[in-house]
A = this chain, B = another copy of it.
Amino acid sequence: MSHLYKHLRIHQVFGANTDVGKTIITTALVRASALNNNRVFYLKPVSTGAPQDADDGHIKRHAGPQKHLVDAHCLFRYGDPVSPHLAAKMASETQGVKVSVPSDETFVGSIAEHIRKRARAASLGAHMYVETAGGVHSPTLSGTTQLDSYRPLFLPTILIGDSKLGGISSTISSFESLLLRGYIIDAILLFRDEYYRNFEYLTQYFAERGIHVTALDPPPPRLDDPSENFANTEKYYSNLVPPSQQGDVFTALEHLNECHARRIQELDSMPRRTSDAIWWPFVQHGLVKTEKDVTVIDSAWSDFFSIYDASRERTSQPASLLQPQLDGSASWWTQAVGHGHPTLALAAANAAGRYGHVMFPQATHLPALKLAERLLQGPGKGWASRVFFSDNGSTGMEAALKMALRSFIVSSGLELSSAEKKNLGVIGLKGSYHGDTIGAMDACEEGVYACEWHEAKGYWFEPPTVSVRQGQVAVSLPPALSSLSGDQHQVAEAFETLSHVYDVEQRLESPLARHYRRYLEKHMRHLQADSSRKLAALVIEPIVMGAGGMIFVDPLFQRIMVDVVRDPTLFPTALPVIFDEVFVGLYRLGFESAGPLLGVSPDISVNAKILTGGVLPLAVTLASDRIFQAFNSESKVDALLHGHSYTAHAVGCQVANATLDMVGRLVESDQWLGAIRKWAPEGATSSRAWSFWDPKFIASISCLDIVDEAMTLGTVLAIKFKDDDAGYASHSAQTLLQSLRLPLEDGSSSAAPGGAPFGVHYRTLGNVAYFMSSLNTSRATIEALEERLWRLVSDVRRS
């Protein structure tokens, strides 16, 4: 991940094209840095072409009067003067043996290791230049293009502009490709060509965009005689970078130094400024005591944040001020394919460039239409006929509730008074959460998430739950459903595997199913007898209630709830069923939607979060034709009068389409199929319920003394700690896991990009610690987290 050291300024040098003078201009910078009496490190990770032309050699030869301060290296060297991916291939062909091509991870790891070593060796004021090969998008050894390859390192960049004919275009396009990957571009340097005068145009163009441009004298033509050429070149450099330390190169150098200092100053100031200006959601500011309690996220890539930690500079071996931190809650359950994915950035930009936001009522545009159609063929398949757009899960649920209440009234043919309408009630489960707008809150019990106007409108059943206890998959009953009383839960049934629990059809005739049905029927009858609140909808988060504490509800219970509210002997008008799949849907738990698992379809469902790949807000409410028809008439006032300004914004829809494309490929990937196989019951190759987390790990951790139960599905792992025991076991999840936040400094290379030690950013819900990956998190990352969790939690037991 990112590297940033107070004592060592690092810049990466990208070229707007090949042959634009990257090495010559870098040589000038190196020489100027050294003349300033700074230790200078030059790194050319990949060099192609004849050895005598190698860039690190050129740097060494022309490093100037202070050349003893200069250290120049190359990590991978190939003979053919072609693109690195091809040079590696050609070397392999000509040498008749396969030249091993490093993977992107190894490549970035080697560079990161080199930087870490130099950082340890350097003292205050050192500079480093990392020069790429070719243009910004020239392929590296693996074939990944330069700016995607180097992105995990997130070094601030210098772009060497193109001074030739056509160079304005390649310079601006390269700049935009860098911006698309989030790169910080501190300066553009190019040769001053007096005929094409690109520097004139570009200086003004980039001044308008706040980017510093420096034009430098071009080098003399190459001479045939090596010694004459050397002397001529040396003369060029000594004019360009004079001992007087005057001129454009030194101005540029000064600017780069300032950028470096400003960046650190800014990062340093961010906790204080944030504490002064921001009102965080769900945070008690009074409990945020020090600047260290504020996580400063400088950038993010894949599953990792890059966070600023000022204390790193004060360690005996100065480490990078920016450190990877695993995004252990998938940034509030939003991440699908990791942070900073260029495909999603491009999708966002493309829609912004083609449409911006355009008016949606009675209008249409391709991104929204395509998204709607694929959702009707995805989570809505077989039951939904319409897609309604809004901005987040909470507003998606408000629309769902408006749909359900109205369609219930229309279907039932009841003439209700205004007061009766206001008091329509929903059926749900204790622990439900549907968002923070007041209508969505009103579909939940009153509790911690309260506000003055919140009025719980309905009845909520306490659910039986699924978990792994002492290595055993089991369904537990709450007191209301069991023979036990008080807070105790009773294990009702044990299962061989998770897959068996989620085989709902198979369990429908079990004694437990009959018990559930009798219980629900009895209570529903009581509720219907209450004339103050007419029941009008069933509203559930299928499979897991997330915010309520990662409660894995027995799917059989939810299935029977749906069956009961559709039983005409109990409900003359079937209650509309809303599945709030904002958290669980779109493969967060390994399945696209919960309907097929439960064996029933909802009338209305809501998706958000993963929908837009963890980039920006968008929500959809899917509805069946029966629901839609309740609003369809010749009268405007019957319409669903709900809408937000940015309804179906093209940027969100396009990003969603790109996300679903990627997810579609992931679902078929070896990584997924492998994980599914691991969870398959003996003799089977597939599993109805499965997880990215290892079954043995879950079983083992559930056996620990301090663990009450553990559970996992798809990307989610939840560990519930006991909190009523004495001694170490009384640690709450929050206290127990605190050390996870700190990087594990055991000297080994980590699973983070570049191999730096990483801490884990996690969230707890009461006594439940949960962890969540993206849909493409590497097995290595998950294993690393499993190992850290195991060490930490099993250590407590042994203490």
Copy count, this protein chain: 2
One of A223-231, A435-443, A514-522 contacting the partner: A435-443
Known interface pairs A362-B295, A437-B438; A335-B353 also in contact (CB < 8 Å): no
Contact (Cβ within 8 A) B137 A354: no
Contact (Cβ within 8 A) A388 B615: no
- Return chain B residues, CB-CB under 8 Å to A358: 297, 300, 305, 327, 331, 339
One of A106-114, A445-453, A693-701 contacting the partner: A445-453
* Additional A-B contact list (11), CB under 8 Å, known A17-B170, A332-B361: A82-B196, A86-B196, A135-B169, A270-B369, A274-B369, A278-B369, A300-B355, A329-B359, A339-B358, A345-B349, A348-B349
Within 8 A of B (CB), among A491-531: none
One of A279-287, A744-752, A790-798 contacting the partner: A279-287
Interface check A350, CB cutoff 8 A: yes
Contact with B along A353-371 (1 / 0, CB 8 A): 1111111111111101100
Known interface pairs A166-B135, A196-B83, A340-B355; A438-B442 also in contact (CB < 8 Å): yes
The complex places the Cα of A231 from the Cα of B641 at a distance, in Å, of: 71
Contact (Cβ within 8 A) A649 B615: yes
Contact (Cβ within 8 A) B138 A182: no
Interface check A134, CB cutoff 8 A: yes
Contact (Cβ within 8 A) A281 B642: yes
- Return chain B residues, CB-CB under 8 Å to A361: 280-283, 332
Interface check A401, CB cutoff 8 A: yes
- Return chain B residues, CB-CB under 8 Å to A442: 438, 453
Contact with B along A458-489 (1 / 0, CB 8 A): 00000000000000000000000000000000
Known interface pairs A176-B346, A344-B352; A645-B391 also in contact (CB < 8 Å): no
Residue on B nearest A143 in the bound complex, by CB: B201
Closest 6 CB pairs of A and B: A281-B643, A182-B354, A135-B169, A438-B439, A18-B166, A182-B353
- Return chain B residues, CB-CB under 8 Å to A342: 353
Known interface pairs A177-B172, A180-B349, A609-B645; A274-B364 also in contact (CB < 8 Å): yes
Known interface pairs A266-B366, A293-B362, A297-B364; A137-B168 also in contact (CB < 8 Å): yes
Contact (Cβ within 8 A) B348 A346: no
The complex places the Cα of A280 from the Cα of B507 at a distance, in Å, of: 40
Interface check A616, CB cutoff 8 A: yes
Contact (Cβ within 8 A) B402 A452: yes
One of A249-257, A554-562, A632-640, A708-716 contacting the partner: A632-640
The complex places the Cα of A165 from the Cα of B20 at a distance, in Å, of: 12
Contact with B along A254-297 (1 / 0, CB 8 A): 00000000000010001101101111111111111000011111
Residue on B nearest A330 in the bound complex, by CB: B359
Contact (Cβ within 8 A) B392 A645: yes
The complex places the Cα of A364 from the Cα of B372 at a distance, in Å, of: 34
The complex places the Cα of A379 from the Cα of B641 at a distance, in Å, of: 30
Contact with B along A750-792 (1 / 0, CB 8 A): 0000000000010000000000000000000000000000000
Residue on B nearest A196 in the bound complex, by CB: B82
A396 → chain B closest CB, angstroms: 11
- Return chain B residues, CB-CB under 8 Å to A196: 82-83, 86
Residue on B nearest A342 in the bound complex, by CB: B353
The complex places the Cα of A666 from the Cα of B347 at a distance, in Å, of: 29
The complex places the Cα of A354 from the Cα of B178 at a distance, in Å, of: 10
Contact (Cβ within 8 A) B82 A641: no
Contact (Cβ within 8 A) B356 A615: yes
Contact (Cβ within 8 A) A18 B454: no
Within 8 A of B (CB), among A149-194: 165-166, 168-174, 176-177, 179-183
Residue on B nearest A583 in the bound complex, by CB: B645
Known interface pairs A353-B180, A641-B450; A617-B391 also in contact (CB < 8 Å): yes
Contact (Cβ within 8 A) B334 A645: yes
Residue on B nearest A169 in the bound complex, by CB: B135
Residue on B nearest A647 in the bound complex, by CB: B281
Contact (Cβ within 8 A) A346 B349: yes
- Return chain B residues, CB-CB under 8 Å to A138: 166, 168-169
- Return chain B residues, CB-CB under 8 Å to A623: 279
A633 → chain B closest CB, angstroms: 5
A651 → chain B closest CB, angstroms: 5
Q: Interface size (A, Cβ < 8 Å)?
A: 175
Show 18 A/B contacts (Cβ-Cβ < 8 Å), sorted by A.
A18-B169, A86-B197, A86-B201, A136-B169, A146-B169, A173-B176, A173-B177, A280-B643, A297-B365, A333-B645, A339-B357, A340-B353, A342-B353, A356-B613, A357-B614, A422-B453, A451-B642, A609-B645
The complex places the Cα of A626 from the Cα of B112 at a distance, in Å, of: 48
- Return chain B residues, CB-CB under 8 Å to A639: 282-285
Residue on B nearest A655 in the bound complex, by CB: B352
The complex places the Cα of A572 from the Cα of B139 at a distance, in Å, of: 71
Known interface pairs A196-B82, A614-B357; A273-B373 also in contact (CB < 8 Å): yes
Interface check A31, CB cutoff 8 A: no
Contact (Cβ within 8 A) A452 B409: yes
- Return chain B residues, CB-CB under 8 Å to A248: none
- Return chain B residues, CB-CB under 8 Å to A139: 168, 201
Interface check A585, CB cutoff 8 A: no
- Return chain B residues, CB-CB under 8 Å to A649: 615-617
- Return chain B residues, CB-CB under 8 Å to A613: 356
Contact (Cβ within 8 A) B340 A354: yes
Known interface pairs A173-B177, A201-B85; A617-B645 also in contact (CB < 8 Å): yes
Contact (Cβ within 8 A) A173 B300: no
Q: Which of A19, A169, A451, A536 has the most CB of B within 10 A?
A: A169
Interface check A214, CB cutoff 8 A: no
Contact with B along A604-640 (1 / 0, CB 8 A): 0000110001111100010100001001111111111
Interface check A398, CB cutoff 8 A: yes
The complex places the Cα of A583 from the Cα of B331 at a distance, in Å, of: 31
Within 8 A of B (CB), among A192-247: 195-198, 201
Interface check A376, CB cutoff 8 A: yes
The complex places the Cα of A651 from the Cα of B655 at a distance, in Å, of: 12
A532 → chain B closest CB, angstroms: 14
The complex places the Cα of A138 from the Cα of B202 at a distance, in Å, of: 11
Residue on B nearest A651 in the bound complex, by CB: B616
Interface check A722, CB cutoff 8 A: no
Interface check A571, CB cutoff 8 A: no
Known interface pairs A356-B335, A615-B651; A166-B362 also in contact (CB < 8 Å): no
- Return chain B residues, CB-CB under 8 Å to A614: 356-357
